[in-house]
Structure 1
Amino acid sequence: MKLLLDANLSWRLIKPLKNSFEDVEHVNELPIAQPAKDIEIWNFAKMNNWIIVTCDEDFYNFHLIKGFPPKIILLRKGNLKTEEVATLFYQYKKVIKAFHESPHLGVLELV
Protein backbone atom coordinates (compact mmCIF):
# COMPACT_ATOMS: atom_id res chain seq x y z
CA MET A 1 0.00 0.00 0.00
CA LYS A 2 1.37 3.38 -1.03
CA LEU A 3 0.20 6.49 0.84
CA LEU A 4 0.70 9.91 -0.72
CA LEU A 5 0.43 12.75 1.79
CA ASP A 6 -1.12 15.93 0.41
CA ALA A 7 0.48 19.34 0.92
CA ASN A 8 -1.97 20.14 3.73
CA LEU A 9 -0.35 17.40 5.85
CA SER A 10 3.10 17.57 7.37
CA TRP A 11 6.00 15.75 5.75
CA ARG A 12 6.91 14.78 9.33
CA LEU A 13 4.19 12.10 9.13
CA ILE A 14 6.36 10.03 6.79
CA LYS A 15 8.58 8.52 9.46
CA PRO A 16 5.89 7.44 11.96
CA LEU A 17 3.60 6.11 9.23
CA LYS A 18 6.37 4.06 7.62
CA ASN A 19 6.35 1.92 10.76
CA SER A 20 2.90 0.61 9.79
CA PHE A 21 2.57 1.24 6.05
CA GLU A 22 4.88 0.04 3.30
CA ASP A 23 5.43 3.21 1.35
CA VAL A 24 4.68 6.78 2.40
CA GLU A 25 5.65 9.91 0.46
CA HIS A 26 4.79 13.59 0.57
CA VAL A 27 3.61 15.47 -2.54
CA ASN A 28 6.49 17.93 -2.14
CA GLU A 29 8.86 15.09 -3.02
CA LEU A 30 7.10 14.06 -6.23
CA PRO A 31 8.79 14.44 -9.60
CA ILE A 32 6.19 17.00 -10.71
CA ALA A 33 6.18 20.79 -10.77
CA GLN A 34 5.96 22.35 -7.33
CA PRO A 35 3.77 23.55 -5.82
CA ALA A 36 1.73 20.71 -7.27
CA LYS A 37 -1.82 21.41 -8.34
CA ASP A 38 -4.54 19.08 -7.07
CA ILE A 39 -5.26 17.68 -10.53
CA GLU A 40 -1.55 16.93 -11.05
CA ILE A 41 -1.45 15.08 -7.73
CA TRP A 42 -4.62 13.19 -8.71
CA ASN A 43 -3.16 12.17 -12.07
CA PHE A 44 0.18 11.15 -10.56
CA ALA A 45 -1.55 9.05 -7.89
CA LYS A 46 -3.77 7.40 -10.49
CA MET A 47 -0.89 6.54 -12.81
CA ASN A 48 1.33 5.24 -10.00
CA ASN A 49 -1.20 3.45 -7.77
CA TRP A 50 -0.99 5.76 -4.73
CA ILE A 51 -3.70 6.40 -2.14
CA ILE A 52 -4.05 10.15 -1.56
CA VAL A 53 -4.22 11.15 2.11
CA THR A 54 -5.70 14.63 2.47
CA CYS A 55 -7.90 17.09 4.32
CA ASP A 56 -8.78 18.76 1.01
CA GLU A 57 -12.39 18.45 -0.16
CA ASP A 58 -11.27 19.02 -3.77
CA PHE A 59 -10.06 15.43 -3.99
CA TYR A 60 -13.45 14.22 -2.81
CA ASN A 61 -15.04 16.32 -5.55
CA PHE A 62 -12.67 14.80 -8.13
CA HIS A 63 -13.78 11.39 -6.92
CA LEU A 64 -17.45 12.31 -7.42
CA ILE A 65 -16.73 13.42 -10.99
CA LYS A 66 -14.01 10.99 -12.07
CA GLY A 67 -14.51 7.96 -9.80
CA PHE A 68 -11.47 5.99 -8.73
CA PRO A 69 -8.60 5.15 -8.85
CA PRO A 70 -6.92 6.79 -7.13
CA LYS A 71 -8.36 6.01 -3.75
CA ILE A 72 -8.62 8.80 -1.18
CA ILE A 73 -8.34 8.85 2.59
CA LEU A 74 -10.09 12.04 3.64
CA LEU A 75 -9.31 13.32 7.14
CA ARG A 76 -12.25 15.18 8.66
CA LYS A 77 -10.91 15.66 12.16
CA GLY A 78 -10.08 19.37 12.03
CA ASN A 79 -6.64 20.64 12.93
CA LEU A 80 -4.64 17.80 14.43
CA LYS A 81 -1.03 17.68 15.50
CA THR A 82 1.26 15.41 13.51
CA GLU A 83 1.38 12.90 16.38
CA GLU A 84 -2.42 12.84 16.54
CA VAL A 85 -2.70 12.08 12.81
CA ALA A 86 -0.15 9.27 13.17
CA THR A 87 -2.11 7.85 16.12
CA LEU A 88 -5.32 8.02 14.09
CA PHE A 89 -3.68 5.95 11.34
CA TYR A 90 -2.47 3.38 13.87
CA GLN A 91 -5.97 3.12 15.32
CA TYR A 92 -7.51 2.61 11.88
CA LYS A 93 -4.75 0.46 10.39
CA LYS A 94 -7.02 -2.58 9.84
CA VAL A 95 -9.77 -0.42 8.34
CA ILE A 96 -7.26 1.29 6.03
CA LYS A 97 -5.89 -2.08 4.92
CA ALA A 98 -9.40 -3.39 4.18
CA PHE A 99 -10.15 -0.17 2.27
CA HIS A 100 -6.98 -0.62 0.22
CA GLU A 101 -7.88 -4.21 -0.65
CA SER A 102 -11.50 -3.49 -1.60
CA PRO A 103 -12.18 -3.10 -5.33
CA HIS A 104 -15.50 -1.40 -4.51
CA LEU A 105 -14.40 1.48 -2.25
CA GLY A 106 -12.82 4.73 -3.44
CA VAL A 107 -13.04 7.06 -0.43
CA LEU A 108 -12.37 6.42 3.25
CA GLU A 109 -13.36 9.23 5.60
CA LEU A 110 -11.73 9.34 8.99
CA VAL A 111 -13.87 11.45 11.31
Structure 2
Amino acid sequence: MKLLLDANLSYRLVKKLAYTFPDCLHVTKTGLPIPAEDIAIWQWARVNNRIIVTNDDDYYNLANTYGFPPKVVLLRLGNQSSASVAETRQKHLDDVQKLNESNKYGLLKTF
Protein backbone atom coordinates (compact mmCIF):
# COMPACT_ATOMS: atom_id res chain seq x y z
CA MET A 1 0.00 0.00 0.00
CA LYS A 2 1.28 3.40 -0.97
CA LEU A 3 1.10 6.18 1.61
CA LEU A 4 1.59 9.90 1.11
CA LEU A 5 2.39 11.83 4.29
CA ASP A 6 1.03 15.36 4.32
CA ALA A 7 3.25 18.36 5.04
CA ASN A 8 1.85 18.65 8.57
CA LEU A 9 3.59 15.36 9.43
CA SER A 10 7.33 15.08 9.78
CA TYR A 11 9.36 13.72 6.88
CA ARG A 12 11.13 11.62 9.54
CA LEU A 13 8.05 9.40 9.69
CA VAL A 14 8.93 7.90 6.31
CA LYS A 15 11.93 6.16 7.87
CA LYS A 16 10.01 5.16 11.01
CA LEU A 17 7.22 3.62 8.92
CA ALA A 18 9.47 1.97 6.32
CA TYR A 19 9.28 -1.52 7.82
CA THR A 20 5.47 -1.63 7.84
CA PHE A 21 4.85 0.72 4.91
CA PRO A 22 7.84 0.41 2.57
CA ASP A 23 6.13 2.49 -0.13
CA CYS A 24 5.70 5.59 2.03
CA LEU A 25 6.48 9.05 0.67
CA HIS A 26 6.45 12.54 2.18
CA VAL A 27 4.72 15.27 0.18
CA THR A 28 8.01 17.19 -0.06
CA LYS A 29 9.34 14.41 -2.32
CA THR A 30 6.51 14.62 -4.89
CA GLY A 31 7.82 17.52 -6.94
CA LEU A 32 4.87 19.68 -5.90
CA PRO A 33 5.60 23.28 -4.82
CA ILE A 34 6.45 23.76 -1.16
CA PRO A 35 4.10 24.50 0.42
CA ALA A 36 1.64 22.69 -1.83
CA GLU A 37 -2.05 23.44 -1.72
CA ASP A 38 -4.27 20.70 -0.32
CA ILE A 39 -6.14 20.29 -3.60
CA ALA A 40 -2.84 19.82 -5.47
CA ILE A 41 -1.78 17.15 -2.98
CA TRP A 42 -5.21 15.53 -3.34
CA GLN A 43 -4.92 15.42 -7.12
CA TRP A 44 -1.33 14.13 -7.01
CA ALA A 45 -2.36 11.35 -4.60
CA ARG A 46 -5.27 10.39 -6.85
CA VAL A 47 -3.12 10.19 -9.98
CA ASN A 48 -0.36 8.27 -8.16
CA ASN A 49 -2.68 5.91 -6.26
CA ARG A 50 -1.58 7.05 -2.80
CA ILE A 51 -3.44 7.08 0.52
CA ILE A 52 -3.03 10.50 2.14
CA VAL A 53 -2.07 10.42 5.83
CA THR A 54 -2.74 13.75 7.53
CA ASN A 55 -4.07 15.52 10.59
CA ASP A 56 -5.56 18.31 8.45
CA ASP A 57 -9.38 18.49 8.50
CA ASP A 58 -9.35 20.02 5.01
CA TYR A 59 -8.85 16.52 3.61
CA TYR A 60 -12.00 15.39 5.41
CA ASN A 61 -13.82 18.15 3.53
CA LEU A 62 -12.19 17.16 0.23
CA ALA A 63 -13.21 13.53 0.80
CA ASN A 64 -16.80 14.60 1.43
CA THR A 65 -16.79 16.84 -1.65
CA TYR A 66 -15.00 14.64 -4.19
CA GLY A 67 -15.26 11.13 -2.75
CA PHE A 68 -12.38 8.78 -3.33
CA PRO A 69 -9.80 8.09 -4.58
CA PRO A 70 -7.62 9.14 -3.00
CA LYS A 71 -8.35 7.60 0.33
CA VAL A 72 -7.46 9.49 3.49
CA VAL A 73 -6.23 8.48 6.93
CA LEU A 74 -7.10 11.36 9.25
CA LEU A 75 -5.04 11.35 12.43
CA ARG A 76 -6.84 12.78 15.43
CA LEU A 77 -3.84 12.92 17.75
CA GLY A 78 -3.11 16.59 18.26
CA ASN A 79 0.56 17.56 18.32
CA GLN A 80 2.54 14.38 18.86
CA SER A 81 6.09 13.26 18.33
CA SER A 82 7.00 11.34 15.19
CA ALA A 83 7.52 8.25 17.33
CA SER A 84 4.00 8.55 18.74
CA VAL A 85 2.48 8.97 15.28
CA ALA A 86 4.45 5.96 14.00
CA GLU A 87 3.23 3.92 16.96
CA THR A 88 -0.37 4.88 16.18
CA ARG A 89 0.11 3.82 12.55
CA GLN A 90 1.39 0.46 13.76
CA LYS A 91 -1.58 0.08 16.07
CA HIS A 92 -4.00 0.74 13.21
CA LEU A 93 -2.21 -1.32 10.57
CA ASP A 94 -5.20 -3.65 10.08
CA ASP A 95 -7.56 -0.68 9.78
CA VAL A 96 -5.36 0.96 7.14
CA GLN A 97 -5.15 -2.34 5.25
CA LYS A 98 -8.95 -2.65 5.30
CA LEU A 99 -9.27 0.92 4.04
CA ASN A 100 -6.83 0.16 1.25
CA GLU A 101 -8.84 -2.90 0.17
CA SER A 102 -12.28 -1.32 0.54
CA ASN A 103 -14.42 -0.32 -2.41
CA LYS A 104 -16.96 1.23 -0.07
CA TYR A 105 -14.93 3.47 2.28
CA GLY A 106 -12.41 6.20 1.55
CA LEU A 107 -11.76 7.74 4.97
CA LEU A 108 -10.30 6.40 8.21
CA LYS A 109 -10.12 8.46 11.39
CA THR A 110 -7.64 7.24 13.97
CA PHE A 111 -7.28 8.37 17.56
Give the TM-score of the pair, scaled to structure 2.
0.96
What RMSD, in angstroms, separates the aligned Cα atoms of the two structures?
Answer: 0.8
Distance 1:34 1:11 in 2: 13
Alignment of 1:19-58 (within 5 A): 19-58=19-58
Corresponding residue for residue 95 of structure 2 = 95
Bigger fraction of residues in helix: 1
How big is the shift at 1:18? 1.0
The alignment status of 1:8 with 2:8, answered yes or no, reads: yes
Per-residue CA deviations over 1:5-58 (Å, capped at 9, x if unaligned) read 000000000011110013111111112222111010000001110000000000
**Segments ≥4 residues shifted beyond 4 Å:** none
One-letter identity of the residue aligned with 1:25: L
CA distance in 2, matches of 1:69, 1:6: 16
Give the match for residue 74 of structure 2. Answer: 74
Q: Which residue in 1 is equivalent to 2:17?
A: 17
Aligned length: 111
Identity over aligned pairs, percent: 46
Q: Tell me what 1:106 maps to.
A: 106
Task: Please give the alpha-carbon distance, in whole angstroms, between the structure 1 residues aligned to 2:34 and 2:79.
Answer: 24
Q: Gaps (5+ residues) in structure 1?
A: none
